[in-house]
Chains A and B, each alone.
Chain A
Amino acid sequence: MQMIAEITNQEMLENNVVISAEEVSVFYSDKQALNSVSLDIPENQITSLIGPSGCGKSTFLRCLNRMNDTVEGCRVEGLITLEGQDIYAPSVDEVLLRAKVGMVFQKPNPFPKSIYENVAYGPRIHGLARNKDELDDIVLTSLEKAGLLNEVRDRLNSTGTSLSGGQQQRLCIARALAVQPDIILMDEPCSALDPIATAKVEELIEELRINYTIIIVTHSMQQAARISQKTAFFHLGEIVEVGDTEQLFTSPSDSRTQGYITGRFG
């Protein structure tokens, strides 16, 4: 256990910061949802955002691929950089940004189309495949990476919504992977799943860390502790504490973190 923690620490030092948020504040019309949040996201690690409901962790996540743009009356202040580039700069196209920063949602939301079409849609709109063979290749590789291929290999043409909840969620992950993102945002990906499906998805997330940077919002502190290397605790629109997961869960420095992880509120 000790050794793993050491490796994780070492990794953290070696890893580059891929996304950096500086003093980010978000307003929904007049209501402030985030207040001056600063956070660095290390490359090829799992960063989990925890905190009670309404603390702003999902809002923060949705800032990272500008999904908040689609919300009426939402205003983002502060600076968020992806590999040094300000993602809210006028020159940045949010469509390209979202291709680079994929997203998996709380409720599995496959398109009501075939499994194949679900995965093929992203590559198709971004022109990632020149022909049918290449597209097939991308679809199969993505399903493979999402650990779903063996379960659906012979029914790629049945609808995505006919799968079980856990399979649907892994299909959504495969769909996000097919666009070849660098970063994957996950908004409580397991909250609608049963424990077995959750275990599978968690396993998958841990595998994906090798190639992707993952930021996950979760309500489950056990989940955060199990899979993430870095954890940020949000409370009332602010980051209370951020640090190495192991350390944050064993010896939190803030009394509010202590209160939350021991179940006194949240």
Chain B
Amino acid sequence: MTDISDLKSRDEWVSEGRKARLGKRHRAERRFKILGLGAILIALSMLATLLVSIGSKGYSAFVQTRFELTVTLDEAVIHPNGDSSVPAVRGASYGTLIRKALRAEFPDVKARRELRSLFGIVSKGASRQLRTMVMENPAVIGETISVWLVASDDMDMFNKGYIPRNVVEADRRIKDNEIKWFDQLAAKGATQKVFNWGFFSSGDSREPEIAGIWGAIVGSFYTILITFAIAFPIGVMSAIYLEEFAPKNRLTDIIEVNINNLAAVPSIVFGLLGVGLFLNVAHFPRSASVVGGLTLALMTLPIIIISARTAIRAVPDSIRNAALGLGASRQQTAFHHVLPLSMPGILTGTIIGLSQALGETAPLLMIGMVAFIVDIPGNVTDPATVLPVQIFLWADSPERAFVEKTSGAILVLLAFLVFMNALAVLLRRKFERRW
């Protein structure tokens, strides 16, 4: 055995060997710090790249190009055959009025083909825009007014600089004469970029310039509502039962293992289950948010159960003992004390589960929510789509203008997710209790 006084000698304390070891240790620590910092920087830069790329592509989806045209609201067109009833006004050909206005604006365009491309600089949705205006204010019928009409997607892209001028005409999506018309309008001050309210208030469309995400937002809302309504009560009840009432035996062990496994099952499998259960057996309507919600509820359930059990387990036994010792039954103990105390934790887990469900696409593709749906769903059984599926659909579309729409929709989805997660963090911060 070494004599302990040798080790403690001053010589050893400052010896060369010890100095070298000390230096080595310090270098190792510095190296580790640098590596860790590097890892964080890489992760952050990836996140930043993602956000910048989506943001820079997506921000322009929130503005749209409009042209100012002088439209004569000809009574003969709006009241065909003198019929001034509402259906007649609704059915009138507003496209004719817009075409007339365009011809008046550019009187030297005569050739048939040229005319067709001239009519194309205004969106197909512009006639609906005009119709809405007339229906809201019938007094304008017969007047000549100047209106800002939505430009076509190509014009919009050109105005936003996505289609460069200095490319040979044959390689360019819009032709020289179209650029000329645009420049003429621009010189008059008859072009503008305005905030694209339509993006937030209309449903999907084949025309990118009038396609919006409101339909998808409503669909997502209904879907998540159903998911919450199903998964939350069932999940919380299961968690309470498993934590507070169930005996600990082999059966509950098996249940526990299975719940943990369910949380790890790929979401598409839940989609298949949804098809089999809700469409083939229960015959719920296809593409409806109720089916989407039920399918996502299956997926969210294990997440809620696991987080709720963790939250319930975090309530100290002293509280249970206090209640039981006063003669509260187990049920009273669970519902008067344990559940309220674990509620912040349960809600946090639930919100995180729901935000995961909100971003889920694969199982919804399985149950047919991938259909092209223009109408805003009015209830949970209407055919609907959801935000991530809308993104998927737009990302798949060939038109250049859908690229910015895709990124714009991603930004909206991310905003919702960030909002929900921030809510979860806030809840946790506010109600977190240290025992």
Contacts and interface: CB of A to CB of B under 8 A. Distances in A.
The residue among B319, B325, B341 with the most chain A CB atoms within 10 A of its own CB is: B325
Interface string B314-329: 0010111111111111
Range for the number of chain B residues in contact with chain A: 20 to 34
Interface string A92-109: 000111110011110101
Interface in B237-266: 247-248
A107 B325 CA distance: 14
B327 A98 contact: yes
Nearest to B322: A109
Contacts of B323: 111, 121
Contacts, number: 64
Given A105-B321, A107-B318, A172-B322, A112 B327 contact: no
A125 B327 contact: yes
A63 interface: no
Interface in B297-322: 316, 318-322
B369 to A, nearest CB: 44
B324 A105 contact: no
B103 interface: no
B433 interface: yes
A186 B201 CA distance: 66
A98 B322 CA distance: 11
A111 B319 contact: yes
B79 interface: no
Q: Determine which residue in A70, A72, A176, A179 has the highest number of CB atoms from chain B within 10 A of its CB, and name it.
A: A70
B332 interface: yes
Given A112-B341, A125-B332, A102 B325 contact: yes
Nearest to A97: B327
Contact of B326 (A70, A102, A107, A112): A102
A175 interface: yes
Contacts of A102: 325-326
A200 B368 CA distance: 71
A245 interface: no
A126 interface: yes
Contact of A105 (B247, B318, B336, B337): B318
A25 interface: no
- Per DSSP, are chain B's interface residues mostly helix, strand or loop, or mixed? helix
Nearest to A108: B318
Given A72-B248, A125-B332, A111 B322 contact: yes
A125 B326 contact: yes
A210 interface: no
A121 B329 CA distance: 13
Interface string B84-100: 00000000000000000
Contact of B322 (A72, A97, A99, A105): A105
B248 A67 contact: no
A122 interface: yes
Contacts of A47: none
Contacts of B322: 105, 109-111, 172, 175
Contacts of A122: 326-328
A126 B327 CA distance: 8
Given A109-B318, A111-B319, A175 B326 contact: yes
A171 to B, nearest CB: 11
Nearest to B316: A109
A59 interface: no
A65 interface: yes
Contacts of A172: 322
A168 B329 CA distance: 23
A110 B247 CA distance: 27
Nearest to A109: B318
Contacts of A95: 327-329
Nearest to B329: A95
Interface in A112-155: 112, 121-122, 125-126
Nearest to B326: A122
Contact of A98 (B248, B325, B341): B325
Contacts of A98: 324-327
Interface string B326-362: 1111101000110001000000000000000000000
Contacts of B248: 72
A170 to B, nearest CB: 14
Interface of B: 247-248, 316, 318-330, 332, 336-337, 341, 433
20 contacts: A65-B325, A67-B324, A70-B320, A70-B321, A70-B330, A97-B327, A103-B321, A105-B318, A109-B318, A109-B321, A109-B322, A111-B322, A111-B323, A112-B433, A121-B326, A121-B328, A121-B336, A122-B326, A122-B327, A179-B327
Given A105-B318, A109-B321, 6 more contacts: A95-B327, A105-B325, A121-B328, A122-B326, A122-B328, A179-B327
